[in-house]
Amino acid sequence: MSNSRRGFFRELASAVASARDATAEPGPPPPPDLTDEEIARYSRQLVLPEWGAAAQLAVSEASVLVIGAGALGAPVALYLAGAGVGRIGILDDDAVELSNLHRQLLHFTPDIGAPKAESAAAKLRYLNPGIVVEPYQVRVEADNAAALLEGQDLVVDCSDSFATRYAVNAACCAARVPLVQAGVLGMSGLVMSVKPGRTACYRCAFPVEPQDAPRCADAGVLGPAAGVIGSLQALEALKLLTGVAPAIADGFLQVDLAAAEFLRVRVRRRGDCPDCGAL
Amino acid sequence: MVARTLDITGLTCPMTWVHTKLALERMAPGDALEVRCRPGEALESVPRSAREAGHGVTVEGTTIRIVVGG
């Protein structure tokens, strides 16, 4: 895919979405034809009023990096592959363990011991052979994040540590790559979309790491809770790629699944934010 | 004004509307699409979906005439 076309279909999809009610305005140029197989495969999203050929082409032209092939990364990668995102990078340096299987839906019992990135990529290729899946067996650190973001249209951070989330946020802000952040513990979690330089970033929302922040290994997580949060992340990714609906930006969605409560929390950009303040 | 035809007689819901919708997306306001369909479900639901999408619709027999945006 050439860089010159990057974003063209996303802008086209946004134009189509925003012009749906403005029938007096001349419409955007017609997008290229979808194949019969693509029409059949994606028919249940193509039939949506908000979706259409332009949105489908926008996702098919997109490159998305999913950081983490675990509890959040599984639903994210599955839904993005199913939706037809053209290139999915899936990044994880761990191997599949027995204790992963209750919540990490991309890995099965015979996969124990296999690299998670490879195990995930194999399933995603079965799901949708029409897309490109690239597994990366690396851990995101502050010093390699920028290189990993090269050529990506969107990053979905499905990592399980504050250190990784801060590193990913900083790198996405520096490269101005849109980002979907999330976290899940127990039966609760949060989801936040970031458009660097335009909306509040993860560091704006959480300037310092909470001192009492529990870790998954300490606190545990129920599989369906991770499934809900990861599904919300996937939905945010599709919104950001196509513009068919507003993303959860300038704030985050706090999800308490024990109480069955969703709370939208507003966040303002911070002028002194070390990650996005200078953008 | 451009007139196009589309045959959805071999399709069932929701593919009847999927193909009609994709054809309409490729047309300009004021253009007309004549959709040939079988009696039954498609003849009921395709006109309704087209009207809900903001298009003008007339039905004659098993032919649905849809004017984009109007």
Domain ranges of chain B: 3-67
Please report whether residue A121 resides in a domain. Answer: yes
Contacts of A53 in chain B (CB under 8 A): 22, 25-26
Summarize pLDDT for A227-260 with one digit per residue, the tens.
999 999 999 999 999 999 999 999 999 999 999 9
Please report whether residue A25 resides in a domain. Answer: no
CA distance A134 to A132: 7
Please report whether residue A256 resides in a domain. Answer: yes
Nearest CA in chain B to A13: B25
- In this predicted complex, what is the ipTM? 0.89
Q: B29 and A26: CB-CB below 8 Å?
A: yes
pLDDT number for residue A2:
40
Of A23, A43, A53, the CB nearest to B25: A53
A126, amino acid identity: Y
Summarize pLDDT for B11-66 with one digit per residue, the tens.
999 999 999 999 999 999 999 999 999 999 999 999 999 999 999 999 999 999 99
Q: Domain with A221 in it: what CATH number?
A: 3.40.50.720
Q: B70 and A26: CB-CB below 8 Å?
A: no
pTM: 0.89
Q: A46 and B22: CB-CB below 8 Å?
A: yes
Cis? peptide before A224, omega within 30° of 0: no
Please report whether residue A279 resides in a domain. Answer: no
Q: Which domain holds residue A240?
A: 3-20+33-266
Q: A39 and B14: CB-CB below 8 Å?
A: no
Task: Inform me whether the pLDDT recorded for A10 exceeds 70.
Answer: no
Please report whether residue A273 resides in a domain. Answer: no
Choosing among B4, B13, B18, which should be mutated to test the A contact, i.e. which has the most A CBs within 10 A? B18
pLDDT number for residue B46:
97
Nearest CA in chain A to B49: A49
Q: B70 and A23: CB-CB below 8 Å?
A: yes
The chain A residues in contact with chain B (CB within 8 A) are 16, 20-21, 23-24, 26-27, 30-31, 34, 39-40, 43-44, 46-47, 49, 52-54
Strands A87-91 and A63-67: parallel
CA distance A264 to A159: 22
Task: Inform me whether the pLDDT recorded for A5 exceeds 70.
Answer: no
**Residues B3-67, CATH architecture:** 2-Layer Sandwich (3.30)
Task: Inform me whether the pLDDT recorded for A271 exceeds 80.
Answer: yes
Q: A27 and B29: CB-CB below 8 Å?
A: yes
- Percent share of chain A, pLDDT over 70: 86
In the stretch 17-56 of chain B, residues with CB closer than 8 A to chain A read: 17-19, 21-22, 25-29, 52-54
DSSP A148-204: HHTT-SEEEE--S-HHHHHHHHHHHHHHT--EEEEEEEBTEEEEEEE-TTTS--HHH
Nearest CA in chain A to B67: A23
Please report whether residue A276 resides in a domain. Answer: no
Contacts of A49 in chain B (CB under 8 A): 52-53
Quick one: which of A191, A159, A152, A158 has its CA closest to A174?
A: A152
Please report whether residue A104 resides in a domain. Answer: yes
For chain A, the domain total comes to: 1
Write the DSSP symbol of residue A95. B
CA distance A241 to B70: 30
Tell me how far CA of residue A199 lies from CA of A17, A192, B36, in angstroms.
21, 11, 48
HSE-CB for A22 with a 13 A CA cutoff: 9
Q: Rounded to the nearest 10 degrees, how much is the dihedral formed by the CA atoms of A4, A76, A162, A268?
A: 70
